[in-house]
Amino acid sequence: MEARGLIKRYGDREALRGVDLVAEPGEVVGIIGPNGAGKTTLLSILAEIVKPDGGSVESPNGSVGWVPQQAALYRRLTVEENLLLFARLEGHDDPAGSVEEMLELTGLGERRRETVARLSGGNQQRVNIAIGLLSRPSVLLLDEPSVGLDPRQRARLWEFVSGLAGAGTTVIFSTHDIQEAERYGQRLLVLADGESLFDGLAEELREAVRAEAPEAADRDFETAFVAYLHHRGH
């Protein structure tokens, strides 16, 4: 997936200012930045939900799966009914077969007949991701997927996502948790106030932070990162 010079304005406010992003097959790219940095706007443009005011997006062959930050599913329907509905709407030849596949992949088979409203936040997020994966996308966009999850659920989520990437799916996720991004993102894109500040490997980001904010270099990475943003005027 390749995006070049993306610009998005909401009235007078510029949400994105010429942002570039390139992701290779099987790569896990983390988009980090404080609240209001433009992370969700960037993912929404990549998912073709929001049209950019400038720039271009080239998607690979095959569909792009999108998992929004808040679970986009029907809480009064069961896990199985939710999956079946979206499989039917996507026009699968064998919707029931696709549902079985997703239930197995996400480990939700035993909870298939439970209404989503009764599931924990973590399991709701798994269903949310399962719907995003129904079309077997070559690119999966995850908008802050671990928000509201406890550490155990978070670990299971990333184990699952890593498995997808290992199978060749490109994963682009957003987060404001710098440590999570560093741990799971093979490559990181730092956004602040709609501006792209950094694009590179996690180790390279550490070096950039040290170079930009040497006074915070011996402190924890999150504090150093905040100092880095401050130095860059954000």
Partner 1 sequence: MRWLLLKDLQVLRRSPLQAVLLVAYPVLIAVLVGFAISREPEKPRVAFLNEVPTGTRVSVGGQQLPAAGVDDRVCARVQCVRVEDRAEAVEKVESGDVLAALVLPEDLVSRINSLSTLTPRTPKVEVLVNEEDPVKARLVDERISNLLAQANLAIARRIVVEGGRYLDLLIDGGQLRVAGLAVQVLGLRATAQILTALEPALPPGPLRTSLRQVTNFASRARDNLDVAEPLIERLAQPVEVKKEVVDGSSPPLEIFAIAVAATLTLAFVTVLLVAGSLALEREENAFPRLTRGLVSPLALLGEKVLLGMAVGLVVTLLMLAGLQFFVPLQWDRFGLWLLAVLAGGAALAAAGAALGAAAREVRAVSLLAFMVTLPIAFLSLVPSGAIGGGLFDLIEIVTAVFPFKPALEAMTAALDSAGPAIGGPLLHLALLVAGYGLIARLALRRFAAV
The binder of partner 1 chosen from 6, 30, 41, 98 (CB under 8 A): 41
Shortest Å, Cβ 92 to partner 1: 11
From 19-27, 82-90, 103-111, 171-179, give the range in contact with partner 1 by CB under 8 A.
Answer: 82-90
Give the per-residue contact string, 170-199, with partner 1 (x = CB under 8 A; - = no): ------------------------------
Shortest Å, Cβ 152 to partner 1: 25
Shortest Å, Cβ 65 to partner 1: 10
SS3 120: coil
How far lies 201's CA from each of 30, 182, 186, 189, in Å?
Answer: 10, 9, 6, 9
Q: Across-strand partners of 29?
A: 172, 187
Query: Rounded to an integer, what distance in angstroms lies between the CA atom of residue 190 and that of residue 182?
Result: 11
Contacts of 134 (CB under 8 A, 6+ apart): 65, 83, 86, 87, 90, 92, 98, 102
40 is a contact residue toward partner 1 (CB under 8 A): yes
Shortest Å, Cβ 44 to partner 1: 5
CB 149 within 8 A of CB 117: no
The binder of partner 1 chosen from 7, 22, 72, 217 (CB under 8 A): 72
90 is a contact residue toward partner 1 (CB under 8 A): yes
Dihedrals phi, psi of 186, to nearest 5 degrees = -75, -30
113 is a contact residue toward partner 1 (CB under 8 A): no
Residue 44 vs 123, nearer CB to partner 1: 44
Residues 118-137 that bind partner 1 (CB under 8 A): 131
Contacts of 13 (CB under 8 A, 6+ apart): none
CB 192 within 8 A of CB 34: yes
> Which residues of this protein are in contact with partner 1, per CB under 8 A?
40-41, 44, 47-50, 66, 68, 70-77, 81, 85-86, 88-90, 115, 131
